[in-house]
């Protein structure tokens, strides 16, 4: 019996409400030894109060030492073992913009990049406006590849989706993004015969795109990562018996939620509009996933003070959520994104669970070093939903 089968056997219905607030890339590092992380530096009276009223710990997104992408990081939080459900970013981006993916498709997430003498100068092309993204995508639609249909759709800022459609395509293709500057983009290679067919189409696509955009700096090139076909996966309703809503701004996270059967709601484009949406639909759902992006993007930019500011901004909205009196209120991240590293990292993520049934611990302030001493200990993220269900009174007794 696997965990999902066990949950299906033990789950019970009641009117409890669970809120999962994911501050993307929440975890961090001190800039100097002995210093404080971004979260520990921030003034967070509301998160600290939740920590005092609840129980804290550190979540391990995949396994110790493994740095996760956003897809595995979120799937773990939703209770899906990221080692079992290996889902490429492309399918999540495509679902997030409501692109209809067919069994003949391989989807991939694209980044506009700045190229200089064939080398990557900026992996995100200076974070162009979404309007610029739309303009560049229109030009890219001129790409034609014999035997393969190609669809290109804008996402947000420097991100776009490319979908390759043909019979016999595979998704075992490496990323063309080397995740470094000063080097050339990588050539696509397939891990099996169907994927070699995809890789050939990808390399031709990139060749044509770079030619089309060569005079459009800083968005004068593109890289691709997260090749994926549509996976088979149980929904939140099927696994947990929860009617679930996703309240997210960025398309990829909408795609993640849609993949596991959540209703993706119109959340506007700000934290305030997200909370307004939460309040509006409070009576219609059992489980609410709210996603906050800016703790991650500021970390990736290496901007320690800005990440502190974004954490403080998130803290300021917490009372508006607690006004709804959720039975279980969880705050965590899908991974760490230390400003010091300018990237995702393997470091465990601060996590708190606030509920009437929580066994409170000695944590007085929400941060990495304090959560290390918390009652949840260090645990794999895939077990968080088990604890959420238990604290909500939605799991019955196992065995006689």
pLDDT in tens, 322-343: 999 999 999 999 999 999 999 9
Q: What's the pLDDT at 327?
A: 98
- Helix axes of 3-10 and 384-391: crossing angle, nearest 10 degrees: 10
Rounded CA-CA distance 213/208 in Å is 9
Tokens of 45: 């009276």
pLDDT in tens, 367-384: 999 999 999 999 999 999
Alpha-carbon distances, residue 165 vs 58, 65, 196, 299, 349 (angstroms)? 41, 36, 14, 35, 38
pLDDT in tens, 24-69: 999 999 999 999 999 999 999 999 999 999 999 999 999 999 999 9
pLDDT in tens, 71-112: 899 999 999 999 998 888 898 889 888 898 898 999 999 999
Tokens of 337: 């994104």
Q: What's the pLDDT at 92?
A: 84
Give the confidence band of 15 by pLDDT, cuts at 50, 70, 90: very high
Rounded CA-CA distance 272/260 in Å is 25
CB atoms within 10 A of CB 114: 20
Q: What's the pLDDT at 231?
A: 83
Q: Which helix (H) or strand (E) holds 371?
A: helix 368-371
* pLDDT higher than threshold 80 for residue 1: no
pLDDT in tens, 252-303: 899 889 889 999 999 998 999 999 999 999 999 999 999 999 999 999 999 9
Q: Which helix (H) or strand (E) holds 388?
A: helix 384-391
Q: What's the pLDDT at 200?
A: 97
Tokens of 264: 């993706």
Q: What's the pLDDT at 2?
A: 86
Name the DSSP letter for residue 187: P
What structural domains does the chain harbor?
3-85+234-391 (3.40.720.10), 92-228 (no CATH)
pLDDT in tens, 169-221: 999 999 999 999 999 999 999 999 999 999 999 999 999 999 999 999 999 99
User: For 275-278, which contacts have Cβ atoms below 8 Å and span 24 or more sequence positions?
Assistant: 275/317, 275/320, 275/321, 277/247, 278/19, 278/247, 278/321, 278/324
Rg (CA), the chain: 21
pTM metric for this prediction: 0.81
The residue count of the chain comes to 400
Judged by average pLDDT, the poorest of 2-11, 91-100, 199-208, 349-358 is 91-100
């Amino acid at each position: 019996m696997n965990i999902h089968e066990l949950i299906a056997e033990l789950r019970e219905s009641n009117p409890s409400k669970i809120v999962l607030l994911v501050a993307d890339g929440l975890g961090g590092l001190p800039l100097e030894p002995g210093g404080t992380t971004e979260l520990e530096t921030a003034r967070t009276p509301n998160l600290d109060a939740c920590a005092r009223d609840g129980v804290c710990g550190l979540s391990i997104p995949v396994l110790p030492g493994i740095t996760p992408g956003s897809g595995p990081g979120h799937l773990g939080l939703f209770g899906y073992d990221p080692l079992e459900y290996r889902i490429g970013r492309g399918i999540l981006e495509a679902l997030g913009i409501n692109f209809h993916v067919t069994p003949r498709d391989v989807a991939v997430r694209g980044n506009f990049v700045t190229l200089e003498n064939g080398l990557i100068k900026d992996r995100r092309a200076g974070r162009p406006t979404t309007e610029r993204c739309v303009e560049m995508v229109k030009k890219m639609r001129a790409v034609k590849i014999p035997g393969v249909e190609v669809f290109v759709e804008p996402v947000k800022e420097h991100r776009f989706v490319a979908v390759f459609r043909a019979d016999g395509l595979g998704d075992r293709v490496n990323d063309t993004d080397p995740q470094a500057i000063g080097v050339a983009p990588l050539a696509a290679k397939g891990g099996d015969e169907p994927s070699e067919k995809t890789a050939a189409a990808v390399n031709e696509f990139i060749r044509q795109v770079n030619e089309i955009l060569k005079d459009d700096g800083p968005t004068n090139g593109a890289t691709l990562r997260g090749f994926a076909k549509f996976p088979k996966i149980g929904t939140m309703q099927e696994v947990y018996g929860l009617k679930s809503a996703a309240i997210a701004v960025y398309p990829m996270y909408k795609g993640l939620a849609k993949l596991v059967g959540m209703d993706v709601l119109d959340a506007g484009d700000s934290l305030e509009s997200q909370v307004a949406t939460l309040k509006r639909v409070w009576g219609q759902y059992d489980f609410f996933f709210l996603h906050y992006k800016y703790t991650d993007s500021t970390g990736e930019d290496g901007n320690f003070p800005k990440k502190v500011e974004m954490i403080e901004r998130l803290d300021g909205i917490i009372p508006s959520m607690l006004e709804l009196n959720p039975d279980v209120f969880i705050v965590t991240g899908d991974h760490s994104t230390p400003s010091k590293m300018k990237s995702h990292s393997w470091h465990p993520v601060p996590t708190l669970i606030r509920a009437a049934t929580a066994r409170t611990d000695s944590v007085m302030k929400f941060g990495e070093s304090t959560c290390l001493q918390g009652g949840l200990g260090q645990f794999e993220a895939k077990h968080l939903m088990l604890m959420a269900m238990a604290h909500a009174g939605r799991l019955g007794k196992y065995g006689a």
